[in-house]
Amino acid sequence: MTSASPMISVKNLWKVFGSNPDQVIGTELASLTRSELRAKTGNTVAVRDVSFDVAPGEVFVVMGLSGSGKSTLVRCMTRLIEPTAGELHFGNEDVLSVDAKRLRELRRTKFSMVFQHFGLLPHRKVIDNIAYSLEINGVEKDARHARANEVIELVGLQGYGHAYPDQLSGGMQQRVGLARALAVDPEIMFLDEPFSALDPLIRRDMQAEVIRLHHELGKTMVFITHDLAEAVKLGDRIAIMRDGAIVQIGTPEDLVMNPANEYVANFVKEHPKSHVLTIRSIMRTPGTGEELSEIALAPQTTVKDAARSVVGSTRPLRVVENGQVIGIVGHDEILRAIAGTED
């Protein structure tokens, strides 16, 4: 998925908390584990030598358990926390070297953030929460309210513009958070565990909402989560973090089918493989004279999604890419994939 000019480029990013972080990076201390380093120097490595690119329009998920450094990473990328070392580019702009004024400009126009605990301003109405960025950027009241009403509609909060945040349910509050992040029409959105504080049912709605918004608006998104199901559902690619470092980056299918190490394997073990396995990897070449169904599937369809159509047809289905038949899937393939992978 990485294209020639990435929207976000992170190179060798470090964040070391402690009194003397510079003594760590680039020395032999950098190779110590977290606890060894803390015992030796009192410093804590929160982000360790992280590099990745995010393509325009991609949803890039960073996944890890609590303490893995994912929240610190996203805060380094928005410079809410200053990274200790490394490079960070948005497009051609070197984000780590911009001054405070330009950084504010970037925050007001180029990227925005959605927080786990919403971060709404309790003393402002919904509409004024959403219009806040525009307000501090000097946009006139009528214009910013007009824009705020647009995004209120976009996230389905019609009629709640004049309510206060604490009068809304958690799910609705996070819709305000989303609307606020969308109000400035940013190129990049950072979402820091936006749905972790919500009930499972509401969470599912909100995930669907993000998928819808992404389809409609095509924003580049960096999405932080500790929930593998959520990561798989939303992410074009997923980075798995542990102890501050990235263990593996890949598509959901990559991670589930080819875990880089035991840690990732343990992580994805419980995840139903049919949810990530695509038919591209199970299709076969058609036998001579084999009769095929009229139905065609895209190669990136997951086994789970393909299963119903395949089972409903007596003949194998064609897998079509760019108008070309590149393979077929029949009952056998689907059954073998499900039987062989679900454990």
Partner 1 sequence: MTLTTSAPSEVKKSSKNKYIAALVAGFLVCATFLHGRATLFLDPSTNTSFHSWLNSISDWITFHRTSNPFLQIVVEGIRSFINGLVTFTQNLISQGSGNRSTPIIGWLGVVAIVVFVTFVISNKKIALLAAAGMTSLGLLGYWTESMQTLALTLGAVVLSLLIGIPVGVLAGIFPRFEKLLMPLLDFSQIMPTFVYLSPVTLFFLIGPASATIVTLIYAIPPVLRITSIALREVSTASVEAGISMGSTKWQMLRKIQVPLAKRTIVVGINQTIMAALSMVTIAALINAPGLGQVVLSSLQQLDVGRSFVAGLGIVILAIVLDRSTTAAAAKVEEKEPTEQSKRIRRITVGISAAITAAAVAISHSVTWAATFPGTGVIGQHLSNGVSSASAWLQDHFSNVTNAMTNIVSYLFINPLQWLLAETPWYIVGFAWIALAAIIGGRRVAVISAICIAGIIGTGLWSDTMVTLASTFVAAFITVILGIVMGVWIGRNKRADSIIRPILDAGQVLPAFVYLVPFLGLFNASRFTAILAAVVYAAPAAIKLAADGIRGVPAGMIEAGIAAGSTPWQMIIKVQLPAARRGIALATNQGLIYVLAMIVVGGLVGGGGLGYLVVDGFSQETYFGKGLAAGLAIVLLGVMLDRISQAVAKKNPLQQG
- Strands 220-225 and 237-242, bridge-based pairing: unpaired
Binding mask 182-211 for partner 1 (x = CB under 8 A): ------------------------------
Judged by CB, which is closer to partner 1: 34, or 110?
110
Q: Where are the alpha helices (DSSP H) in the chain?
A: 34-41, 70-77, 100-109, 126-130, 132-136, 141-154, 170-183, 200-217, 228-234, 252-257, 262-268, 303-312, 331-341
Burial of 81 (0-12, 13-18, 19+ CB in 10 A): middle
Establish if 115 lies at the interface with partner 1 (CB under 8 A). Answer: yes
Instruction: Decide if residue 73 touches partner 1 (CB under 8 A).
Output: no
User: Residue 138, interface with partner 1 (CB under 8 A)?
Assistant: no
Given candidates 24, 120, 148, 157, which one binds partner 1 under the rule CB under 8 A?
120
Pick between residue 77 and residue 249 the one whose CB is nearest to partner 1. Answer: 77
Q: Which one among 34, 89, 117, 304 touches partner 1, defined by CB under 8 A? A: 117
Contact flag: residue 8 with partner 1 (CB under 8 A): no
Backbone phi and psi for residue 19, each to the nearest 5 degrees, phi listed first: -75, -30
* Among 55, 80, 85, 292, interactor with partner 1 by CB under 8 A: 80
Does position 320 interact with partner 1 (CB under 8 A)? The reply is: no
Examine residue 113 and tell whether it contacts partner 1 (CB under 8 A).
Answer: yes
Compute the distance between CA of residue 22 and CA of residue 2 in angstroms, rounded to an integer.
32
Q: Which residues contact 140 (CB under 8 A, 6 or more apart)?
A: none
Q: Which residues bind partner 1 (CB under 8 A)?
A: 78, 80, 103-108, 112-113, 115, 117-123, 125, 132-133, 135-137, 164, 180
